[in-house]
Structure 1
Amino acid sequence: MESSYVDYKESDLDFSPADKQKIKEDAIPGQSLSYMQDAWRRLKKDKVSMLCLIVVIVLVLIAIFGPYISKFDYASNNLLNANKAPNKVHWFGTDQLGRDIFVRVMYGARISLSVGFVAAIINLTIGLLYGGFAGYKGGMVDNIMMRIVDILYSIPMMLYVILLMVVMGKGLGNVYITLGIAYWTGMARIVRGQVLSLKNQEFILAAKAAGANGRRILLKHLIPNCMGQIIVTLTLSIPDAIFTEAFLSFVGLGVSAPMSSWGTLCNDALATYRSYPYQLFIPAMAICITMIAFNLLGDGLRDALDPKMRK
């Protein structure tokens, strides 16, 4: 039986440099992108989400710098200018105490957005650590921790938010604390579910074999791989917190006078909305625009961060 081995002799032609045309043909098109770069590339293709992102950025800039640029003060009364219709001087008109509604809406944006972002940060911190620890430990620890979450989740959120505000009293700081206490349960359940689905993957077993402890595995391996769902949930929790704060202020349990959130402005305009509907319509529109922008941005982030969820 003849051997299939062929004696191969190297020649100089085997190692000759490739020409430029051959290099171009063999080149792999495109460039290597990280996870976040690829998500940003997909997000930029979504025109609605990018428009909503611009709206959110504009709202944040108005909330930060708007009250400083305006020549009117949000708290100064001028009864001679009470209930003025929108005009060249007062773009949104004035309220029953002669205060400029435009600057009060800008200041209200500062209060409402700060409540949304602070509640989201507290939600992220508590929910991430609580849900991540429960999912990683599993067993009895997971059962006990998640039964506590289920009990809190079964109570209507608005009910114990109102009860906490009644007990703690009005004030912006108390609004931060109340929403922080109430809003972390949903994040905890989502993070726990993601950790349960990932903790038995091969890269976690490799980390354990390399000697990584539980804290490092949770913070360096599990949570970073859940960031897609976490970011989407965080984005969608901001408009919920803004609406809750607006409702609390509307019923008189939110920020104290002379501070003005969008809910407070709606409450102030309620008595005279038949005669001066713009006083109610303008802050209500601000709430609607903000909530729509954040919700559509959250939908776009969901599709960008996890293309498999796209319908």
Structure 2
Amino acid sequence: MAEKRKKVLGSLQPDVEDILEWNNLPDNAFEPASAQEKESFIQDRKSVSYWKDAWRRLRRNRVAMVAMVIVILIGLFAFVGPLLVPYGYDEQIRGANNLHPWHYSLEDQARIDAYMEEHNNTANLTPDEAVEQAKAEAAAKGEELSRIEEAKIRANAKASQGSGEGEVTEAAAIEALGIKAKPFGYSDDELQRMENGESVFPHVFGCDTHGRDIMVRTMIGARVSMIVGICCAIIVLIIGAIYGSISGYFGGKVDAVMQRIVEVIYTIPEVLIILLLGTTLKPVFEQFQNSGNGPLQQLVTTLGPNLISIFIAFGLLYWVTMSRIIRGQILQLKQQEYVTAARALGAKGGRIIKRHLLPNCVGQIVTTTFLQIPSAIFTESFLSFLGMGVSAPMTSLGSMCSDALSGLTSYPYRLFIPAAILSVMILCLNLFGDGLRDALDPRLKK
């Protein structure tokens, strides 16, 4: 029966020639492939590391890449810019007080001042005084005023006194004379040097009340903000990673006690602690500065008690979010087989945390640390705006915004320039941090 069935099925199966004819295949379609054909057909995929794969995903995020480029440009502006500009952040330039980014030449400024002085003096005269002054000016020229001209002068002087609008402003004088501003300002001393053939660097952002170049101060302010943000993020990383990894690895009562401490720290107002630390430590640091002239005293003098208080507050309070994130990752990873194998081989807890657990949390660590930088920059700028940041003459973007409020109506660019740089810096750091989080998360792999 079985043999009969094989014969029937065999008669139904087409032979190789029929298959080649039906599918229009060549005669050698079913011949074994050669070694060269096998090599060209089987292509080994190049292995890609975790960081290369993350970089590939990050490059696809255009918003994050644009934000990264802007952050790099701001970094060059802050760290390389002061080396190219010959002015110091605390250098007072003679004749450059309240210099606008778009200024008027000395000749034009003299015309404006003369016009204002002439019309304001005329407006403050009585009709009789105005006529006497006009007669004296006409007599000096060898002329004589007619009665009609005297009447006009009396009428104009009386109208100016009655209206109360005799005071001519600088804007009105500029409009009346038709004078246009020119880009980039120079002080009186610098213009004299330029007339002698010397090369002088312009004040692109103008100068403040004390004659200090605003662009250099903005560069130094951006540098201070970025250094404070990076240093605070590193402090948060070290303390948070150590605390969170110990809490998550040991678990049990150790984890319960450590997390209750974290919850207590969460309830403490950070800004209030910074203000209290700055007020309490200020006399201590002043006494320490006066005790000697070593490098440590110079560092304390440069930073100031308020900035040191910010670093202390970040070390005391701001690491709790980092520790919670690391703890959650450690609780998941410590149940993996490689951790069990490490324990079986006799590895201690510290070695397992350092060699096995923390390296596998590197994505979350890098992302959280980077997102901590804009938070620290904002905190420092906010405190500097309140007068609790860097000490004068050192500057930051927040302190520059605070100083600019007094002349907001007259010199609004002094507020807009540092505020714009601070806003763009924080925005781009947040956007790049979000893109970095997406790139380092394996679950979002595309």
TM over 0.5: yes
Is 1:68 aligned with 2:203? no
Name whichever of 221-230 and 165-174 sits farther off: 165-174
Aligned to 1:45: 60
Aligned to 1:253: 388
Deviation digits for residues 170-209 of structure 1, max 9, x if unmatched?
3433333333333211111111111111111122112112
TM-score, length-normalised on structure 2? 0.63
Deviation digits for residues 8-64 of structure 1, max 9, x if unmatched?
xxxxxxxx99532321211234x1111111101111111111111122222222222
Aligned to 1:272: 407
Is 1:57 aligned with 2:72? yes
SS in 2 for 1:176: helix
Q: 1:165, 1:178 within 8 Å by CA — same for their partners in 2?
A: no
Deviation digits for residues 122-156 of structure 1, max 9, x if unmatched?
00000000111111111111111111111111223
Aligned to 1:165: 278
Q: Call closer, same or farther: CA 1:180–1:274 in 2, change over 3 Å.
A: farther
Equivalent-residue separation in structure 2 for 1:286 and 1:182 (angstroms)? 28
> Aligned pairs, how many?
295
* Residue from 207, 215, 222 that aligns with 1:102: 215
Equivalent-residue separation in structure 1 for 2:65 and 2:266 (angstroms)? 33
Name whichever of 279-288 and 49-58 sits farther off: 49-58
Q: Call closer, same or farther: CA 1:265–1:167 in 2, change over 3 Å.
A: same
Q: 2:274, 2:309 within 8 Å by CA — same for their partners in 1?
A: no
Equivalent-residue separation in structure 2 for 1:275 and 1:180 (angstroms)? 41
TM-score, length-normalised on structure 1? 0.90
Runs of 5+ in structure 2 lacking a partner? 1-31, 102-182, 185-201, 283-304
Amino acid aligned to 2:309: N
Aligned to 2:331: 196
Amino acid aligned to 1:236: L
Name whichever of 53-62 and 206-215 sits farther off: 53-62
Aligned to 2:435: 300
Aligned to 1:216: 351
Q: 1:246, 1:261 within 8 Å by CA — same for their partners in 2?
A: yes
Q: Call closer, same or farther: CA 1:159–1:309 in 2, change over 3 Å.
A: farther
1:51-200 equivalence runs, <5 A = 51-78=66-93, 80-86=95-101, 87-88=183-184, 89-169=202-282, 170-200=305-335
Q: Call closer, same or farther: CA 1:33–1:309 in 2, change over 3 Å.
A: closer
Q: 2:367, 2:433 within 8 Å by CA — same for their partners in 1?
A: yes
Is 1:23 aligned with 2:136? no
**Alpha carbon RMSD of aligned pairs, Å?**
1.9
Runs of 5+ in structure 1 lacking a partner? 1-15
Amino acid aligned to 1:37: K
Is 1:291 aligned with 2:426? yes
Equivalent-residue separation in structure 1 for 2:77 and 2:313 (angstroms)? 26
SS in 1 for 2:95: helix
Equivalent-residue separation in structure 1 for 2:94 and 2:85 (angstroms)? 19
Equivalent-residue separation in structure 2 for 1:182 and 1:283 (angstroms)? 28
Aligned to 1:12: none
Amino acid aligned to 2:243: Y
Q: 1:248, 1:263 within 8 Å by CA — same for their partners in 2?
A: yes
Q: 2:218, 2:418 within 8 Å by CA — same for their partners in 1?
A: yes
Deviation digits for residues 230-285 of structure 1, max 9, x if unmatched?
11111110000000000111111111000001111111111111211100011111
Amino acid aligned to 1:264: S
Q: Percent of pairs identical after alignment?
A: 48
